Amino acid sequence: MGVVVALPFLAPIFMATGWSASGKAIYFIYSFLCHQLPERSYFLLGLKLTYSLAEIQAAWQNTTNPLILRQFIGNPEMGWKVAWSDRMVSMYTATWIFGILWWPFRHRLKPLPWWGLALFLLPMAVDGSSHFLSDLAGIGEGFRDSNAWLATLTNNAFSFGFYVGDAWGSFNSIMRLLTGILFGIGAVWFSFPYLDLAYSPNKKRQPPITQQPRSNALDAPGLEDEL
């Protein structure tokens, strides 16, 4: 799983070092696992970690079509995007890290019940579903882009950049990070005890008891009593 988590980070490194064929191959493979929208992705080896939709449009195409936006992988000035989105980074990196941390605590933790797993996954379900519904109005046009509802609830207690967009430090980016971490904790806590039980050798298993065959002489009637 560490390899699966690391490969998306190798894509921008390959692009920056001239191994563009290898980098594009990683982008292509992971495109089947993620939307790869650049405004919701991390960029490496560039000026910033994340870029707004307007900055992506200025560097790529002035469009809100997600099929066109996802094709932008970066450039030498802006850097190159990680091969899957920030939510996928948090989900699978957290699963990998907590999977490693689970081992020394495996005898101290009781398996997580199914309803506990549901509680860990619920925040992501709410956040992801609301993003999906928001995007139906158009990329950059939905209620999760402006988060005016949140500004009203908090009485504009935070800066403008916290409410609007998907850049690092915004409400949307923080929610994708936190819900991904909760996903990783829940997935490991629920599934790893079952995996450990399934793949651990059964130490109580005893070799089968075999009976020695009786000789033909002892099978003769009356001979055994005489002996």
Instruction: Please write the tens of the pLDDT for every residue from 17-45.
Output: 999 999 999 999 999 999 999 999 999 99
Residues 74 and 91 in one domain: no
Residues 94 and 72 in one domain: no
For the chain, how many structural domains are there in total? 2
Residue 180 has pLDDT above 90, yes or no: yes
Please tell me which residue, 216 or 118, carries the higher pLDDT value: 118
Q: Which domain holds residue 19?
A: 2-81
Instruction: Flag whether 225 is in a domain.
Output: no
Q: What average pLDDT does the chain have?
A: 89
Cβ partners under 8 Å of residue 86, min gap 6: 40, 41, 42, 50, 166, 173, 176, 177
With beta carbons less than 8 A apart as the criterion, state whether 120 and 211 touch: no
Average pLDDT of 45-54?
94
Q: Are residues 145 and 43 both part of a single domain?
A: no
Q: Are 100 and 188 in a shared domain? A: yes
- 107/51 same-domain check: no
158 and 119, same domain (yes or no)? yes
Q: Is residue 224 part of a domain?
A: no
Q: Tell me which of 31, 51, 81 is where a domain ends.
A: 81
Let me know if residue 123 belongs to a domain.
yes
Tell me the residue type at 9: F
For the stretch 55-113, pLDDT in tens is 999 999 999 999 999 999 999 999 999 999 999 999 999 999 999 999 898 888 889 99
DSSP letter for each residue of the chain = -HHHHHHHHHHHHHHHTT-HHHHHHHHHHHTTT----GGGS-EESSS-S---HHHHHHHS-S---HHHHTT--EETTTEEE-SS-HHHHHHHHHHHHHHHHHGGGTTTSPPPPHHHHHHHHHHHHHHHHHHHHHHTT-TTTSHHHH-HHHHHHTTT-S-HHHHSSSSTTSHHHHHHHHHHHHHHHHHHHHHHHHHHHHHS--TT--PPP-PPPPPTTTTSTTHHHH-
Same structural domain, 48 and 111 = no
- The reply to whether 99 and 154 lie within a common domain is yes
pLDDT at 196: 84
pLDDT digits (tens, 9 = 90+) for 113-133: 999 999 999 999 999 999 999
